Structure 1
Amino acid sequence: NLGKSKALNYGFNTVKNLEFDYFSYLDADLATPISELIRMSEFLNEEIEFVFGSRVNRIGSNINRKLLRHLIGRFFATVNSLLLQIPVYDTQCGAKILSRNLAEKSFSEKFYTNWVFDVEIFFRVMKAKKNIDINSYAKEIPLEQWTDVGVSSIKPRHYLGIFSDLFKIYRIYSRAKN
């Protein structure tokens, strides 16, 4: 019970010696159903090796999210998009699939933060694909189903720490670019 980022590191390091082509994960509460992960996997091919879900409420989808959580999430996503310098809509969606190569680059080492490790995954992927346009190897897939289940483990008192962590990983990976 040490947090999602540590669980993902542990999970990847447990399977890294097995044969697999892709590494994927969902949030433990299954807010994103497994069927969505299966649907997302259909977008993977030789070029597209990073697919991630996006909680966009639109006609034909069934995205159930509390308004306050949505508004805070949109603010956070906008900041993330600016830091990453890519037009990603939803870095924090807990449904992601990475090729084995990108998973090795993303999950082999511990994360610098626990709350915003999803953003750090993007920085690690972009570092691994240095000078390659993210549109050529990644795809953001609007989910058809997502349900806000339970209470978020992020409390209002965590927000300052979250933004501090964001800028911390931005500094770390910005230095790595140069």
Structure 2
Amino acid sequence: MAGSQAWRHADRDISKRNQLDDRAFSPRPPADSRPRSPARSHASAHSVTCGRASRPPTTTPSPASPVCVLPWVRDGFQKNVTISIVIPARNEALQIRENVLRLIRDAEQVFSAHDWRIVIAENGSSDETAVIAETLAAGLPNVSARHCMRPGKGGAIREAWDASRADVLAFLDADLAADAQQLNHVIAGLADADLAIGSRRLSQSRPTRSPIRRVVSAVFHAIARQLVDIPVADAQCGCKAMRAQAWQQLSAHISHDGFLFDTELIARAHRANMRIAEIPIVWNDATRSGRGSVRLWRDSWKMFIGLLGLRRALR
């Protein structure tokens, strides 16, 4: 299958599959089920406790109200917690198949006690990413594909998270600079948090990054802390997890569809008195393709300017 026919075929199939992305999950366990302790992180988390839950969630979620502590999070993850792992993918044809297969192999080990699903959220690709994503989804029971209409990394994640029925919503960058094991550490952080983020900038983090990326990251976060008051060391790490209930409270208030989605998510969670856990992880930039999703010299200045717009939006 090639060319425009392949694209049209994939687009039709993905549109059908959009209705079914997370419905293969088994039912959520009852509240009185016997809990299972979550996996421990390889290093202690840096937690920002912004609020405590004191009442059940409201029918109409508000970003100003705290999130209810679900029993499976308060006492430990139960066996049938459902996890949706979104992989935003635009023009990733060179690596998406290999990386999804690698992620599946790892997930079968680290998430063996839970129901999990990988969602390839493709949007705006001009290569064969959509076709590859649909082929993987057709042949692998734990993989689904979405052809997302929203542009940008954030748009793909937002659309996939909005459609999900899982208890835990997560995402990883398509290059798998952080793998399933690191995501497992991050998800374990949800035992005491509403939002858990991987961090490359804590003392116990183990990042492999080029000097220029370290410098750009340091400058970005110094500016971000001043402009939008984010209470974390690393807002932009492509390894995050969130309780579905917390996302439902924030979803309608998120406006960024690009790479600043991460920073806005943290800033709004902080302002909503949600608890944020920052988890040190192993990060390997060597897994990135030569072109990279974020071209430092072309995109960094856009992100810095975008912070000014985010500051205005948060007022």
TM-score by length of 2: 0.47
Distance 1:119 1:76 in 2: 11
Return 100-109 or 1-10, whichever deviates more.
100-109
Q: Which has the higher contact order (CA 8 A, sep 6+)?
A: 1
Q: Indicate the percent of aligned positions where both proteins have the same amino acid.
A: 26
- For the residue of structure 1 that corresponds to 2:233, the secondary structure is coil
- For the residue of structure 2 that corresponds to 1:43, the secondary structure is helix
Equivalent position of 2:314 in the other structure:
173
Q: Partner amino acid for 1:114?
A: G
**Alpha-carbon distance change, 158 to 86 in structure 1, aligned in 2, over 3 angstroms:** closer
Q: CA deviation at 1:8?
A: 0.5
Q: CA deviation at 1:104?
A: 1.6
Is the aligned partner of 1:54 residue 2:199? yes
Equivalent position of 2:215 in the other structure:
71
Equivalent position of 1:24 in the other structure:
170
- What do you get for the CA RMSD once the two structures are aligned? 2.2
Is the aligned partner of 1:122 residue 2:266? yes
Q: Partner amino acid for 2:258?
A: N
Return 108-117 or 66-75, whichever deviates more.
108-117
- List aligned pairs for 1:1-178, cutoff 5 A: 1=124, 2-15=151-164, 18=165, 20-45=166-191, 47-56=192-201, 62-108=206-252, 111-129=255-273, 137-143=275-281, 145-148=282-285, 149-150=288-289, 151-152=291-292, 153-174=294-315
Distance 2:231 2:158 in 1: 26
Q: CA deviation at 1:57?
A: 7.2
For the 8 Å contact 1:56–1:142, the answer to whether it is kept is: yes
Deviations 1:10-67 (A, max 9, x none): 101221xx2x32211111111101111112222222x4111101013757x5421111
- For the residue of structure 2 that corresponds to 1:51, the secondary structure is strand
Deviations 1:47-102 (A, max 9, x none): 4111101013757x542111101110111011112223244110000111111122
Q: Partner amino acid for 1:158?
A: D
Distance 1:83 1:171 in 2: 9
- For the residue of structure 2 that corresponds to 1:141, the secondary structure is strand
Distance 2:179 2:301 in 1: 31
More helix by percentage = 1
- For the residue of structure 1 that corresponds to 2:190, the secondary structure is coil
Structure 2: gaps spanning 5 or more residues: 1-123, 125-150
Q: CA deviation at 1:108?
A: 4.4
For the 8 Å contact 1:26–1:95, the answer to whether it is kept is: yes
Deviations 1:123-146 (A, max 9, x none): 2212332xxxx6xx1111111x21
Aligned residues: 162
Structure 1: gaps spanning 5 or more residues: none
Q: Partner amino acid for 2:174?
A: A
- For the residue of structure 1 that corresponds to 2:279, the secondary structure is strand
Distance 2:241 2:314 in 1: 22
Q: Partner amino acid for 1:26?
A: L
Distance 1:9 1:111 in 2: 10
For the 8 Å contact 1:13–1:108, the answer to whether it is kept is: no
Greater Rg by CA: 2
